């Protein structure tokens, strides 16, 4: 080690490694996955195509997509023992804890858990991609005391998730809005949960352990948990005509308002215009304009007062609510999408690894002698 560098708190503004997976460009409020603009992917591809792109660096051709989809569909069901475990979960526990425990169980059932070769990791990735929605949907059914609905191979990734949760596939507009949200949530460079997965991977631990860590990091309201907090906030305000006053009061009391601000984007989140468009479509579809009216009032007041822009969680929260999902399942949906980015980063870290091990500056008491118990 040559020089010791003091990094800013929260590693703000620090580049810790190279990546080819995605590029966040705050100066132009843009985001690309392997060079493709995220809003183009959202409009012109399916989530399955993006899931392929994330770990292969190229969009699939028809044959490659068929092969990828066939594997994903084949892996959707989960082991009987995981089903039994879900039935034992406390119904009132948070669904992110269901998911973290479910993924941990999948790891214990995989006899290749220690095999971090790229071939095996690619297979583990498709398994996780396929099984996480099943764990999330079964957990939802368990939490409301209903029987599980098994995955259906003839349905797309998003259609199958709706079917496993609600026993039916909604209108195309709803499925498309959901698919778009997954594409937008798929990847975002070295955010807190992705960095967590890379730290765990850097110790040469296994993919399941890294994903459990990622789920733990994403759960926090300063990160993925914000989409749930946005909807709790909107429900608390309840009336769009009260939104401005609510925001002024929150700012006067120096509250952090969920769904606003971003470590990297300072003048707008690249993903918000697309998600806003699809949240608006959900309002048109449901005929319920209340949440998007409130969205406008909160956004405008925040911009006027503080110049702080909404992040992706702000339109995603009401969009998921209008699709019929319970609020505490919003962050598990985020996991269903971000598993793609996490696994791509896990494989990238594995391919060119050095253990991530920073230093700390000690600010505790000076070195001292241990006195025997009777003298203390």
Output the six-digit token pair for 196.
Answer: 């967590």
- Active-site residue, 313 included: yes
Q: Which residue has the tokens 């990091």?
A: 217
Helices (H), strands (E): how many in the chain?
16, 3
- Residues forming a β-bridge with 33: 22, 36
Using the rule CB under 6 A, give the single segment among 56-64, 79-87, 128-136, 261-269 that binds ligand COA: 261-269
311 binds ligand COA (CB under 6 A): yes
Residue 305's SS3 state is helix
DSSP H or E segment with residue 130: helix 118-143
Q: Which residue has the tokens 């009032």?
A: 297
263 binds ligand COA (CB under 6 A): yes
Q: Which residue has the tokens 């998921």?
A: 320
Using the rule CB under 6 A, give the single segment among 82-90, 96-104, 208-216, 251-259 that binds ligand COA: 251-259
Alpha carbons 69 and 50: distance in angstroms, whole number: 12
260 binds ligand COA (CB under 6 A): yes
Closest-CA residue to 151 (of 52, 74, 50): 74
256 binds ligand COA (CB under 6 A): yes
Handedness of CA 275, 276, 277, 282 (dihedral sign): positive
Q: Which of 94, 262, 276, 345 is catalytic?
A: 262
Could you tell me the smallest distance in angstroms from the CB atom of residue 317 to ligand COA?
10
Task: Indicate the residue among 46 and 311 with the shorter CB distance to ligand COA.
Answer: 311
131 binds ligand COA (CB under 6 A): no
Task: Indicate the residue among 195 and 208 with the shorter CB distance to ligand COA.
Answer: 195
313 binds ligand COA (CB under 6 A): yes
- Active-site residue, 150 included: no
Using the rule CB under 6 A, give the single segment among 20-28, 60-68, 148-156, 307-315 that binds ligand COA: 307-315
Q: Which bin fits 11, alpha (ψ -120 to 50), beta or left (φ > 0)?
A: left
Contact 351, 118 (CB under 8 A): yes
Tell me the CA end-to-end span of the chain in Å, nearest whole number: 40
235 binds ligand COA (CB under 6 A): no
- Active-site residue, 262 included: yes
Number of residues that bind ligand COA (CB under 6 A): 15
Among 124, 219, 262, 299, binds ligand COA (CB under 6 A): 262
Could you tell me the smallest distance in angstroms from the CB atom of residue 222 to ligand COA?
4
Position of minimal CB gap to ligand COA: 261
Q: What is the DSSP letter of 59?
A: -
Output the six-digit token pair for 259.
Answer: 């769904």
Using the rule CB under 6 A, give the single segment among 112-120, 260-268, 281-289, 364-372 that binds ligand COA: 260-268
Could you tell me the smallest distance in angstroms from the CB atom of residue 231 to ligand COA?
12
Q: What is the largest CA-CA distance in the chain?
A: 77
Q: State the binding string over 42-81 for ligand COA (x if CB under 6 A, else -).
A: ----------------------------------------
Name, in order, each residue with C-beta under 8 angstroms of 124's C-beta and a sequence gap of 6 or more.
110, 112, 207, 208, 343
Could you tell me the smallest distance in angstroms from the CB atom of residue 274 to ligand COA?
15
Using the rule CB under 6 A, give the single segment among 163-171, 220-228, 316-324, 335-343 that binds ligand COA: 220-228
Name, in order, each residue with C-beta under 8 angstroms of 201's C-beta and a sequence gap of 6 or more.
207, 210, 345, 346, 349, 350, 353
222 binds ligand COA (CB under 6 A): yes
Closest-CA residue to 128 (of 329, 275, 282, 341): 341
Task: Indicate the residue among 48 and 269 with the shorter CB distance to ligand COA.
Answer: 269
Residues that bind ligand COA (CB under 6 A): 10, 222-223, 226, 256-263, 308, 311, 313
Where in the sequence numbering do the catalytic residues fall? 223, 262, 313
């Amino acid at each position: 080690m040559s020089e010791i560098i003091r990094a800013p708190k929260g590693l703000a503004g620090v580049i810790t490694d190279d990546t080819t997976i995605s590029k966040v460009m705050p100066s132009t409020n843009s985001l690309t996955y392997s060079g493709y603009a995220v809003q183009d992917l959202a409009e012109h591809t399916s989530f399955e195509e993006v899931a392929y792109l994330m770990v292969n660096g190229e969009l699939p051709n028809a044959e490659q997509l068929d092969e990828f989809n066939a594997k994903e569909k084949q892996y959707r069901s989960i082991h009987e023992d995981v089903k039994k475990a879900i039935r034992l979960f406390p119904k009132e526990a948070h669904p992110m804890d269901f998911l973290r425990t479910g993924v941990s169980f999948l790891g214990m059932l995989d006899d290749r858990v220690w095999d971090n070769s790229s071939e095996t990791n690619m297979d583990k990735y498709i398994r996780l991609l396929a099984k996480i929605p099943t764990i999330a949907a079964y957990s939802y059914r368990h939490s409301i005391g209903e029987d599980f609905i098994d995955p259906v191979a003839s349905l797309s990734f998003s259609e199958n998730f709706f079917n496993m949760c609600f026993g039916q596939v909604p209108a195309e507009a709803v499925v498309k809005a959901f698919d778009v949200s997954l594409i937008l949530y798929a990847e975002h460079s070295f955010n807190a949960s992705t960095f967590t997965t890379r730290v765990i991977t850097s110790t040469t631990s296994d993919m399941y352990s890294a994903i459990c860590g990622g789920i733990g990091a994403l759960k926090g309201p300063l990160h993925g948990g914000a989409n749930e907090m946005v909807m709790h906030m909107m429900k608390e305000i309840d009336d769009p005509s009260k939104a401005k006053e609510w925001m002024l009061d929150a700012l006067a009391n120096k509250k952090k308002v969920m769904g606003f601000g971003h470590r990297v984007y300072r003048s707008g989140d690249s993903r918000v215009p697309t998600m806003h468009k699809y949240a608006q479509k959900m309002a048109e579809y449901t005929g319920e304009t209340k949440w998007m009216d409130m969205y406008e009032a909160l956004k405008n007041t925040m911009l006027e007062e503080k110049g702080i822009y909404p992040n992706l969680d702000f339109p995603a929260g009401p969009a998921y609510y209008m699709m019929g999902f319970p609020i505490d399942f919003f962050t598990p949906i985020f996991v269903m999408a971000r598993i793609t980015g996490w696994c791509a980063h896990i494989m990238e870290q594995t391919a060119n690894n050095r253990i991530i091990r920073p230093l700390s500056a000690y600010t505790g008491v000076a070195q001292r002698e241990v006195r025997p118990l009777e003298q203390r």
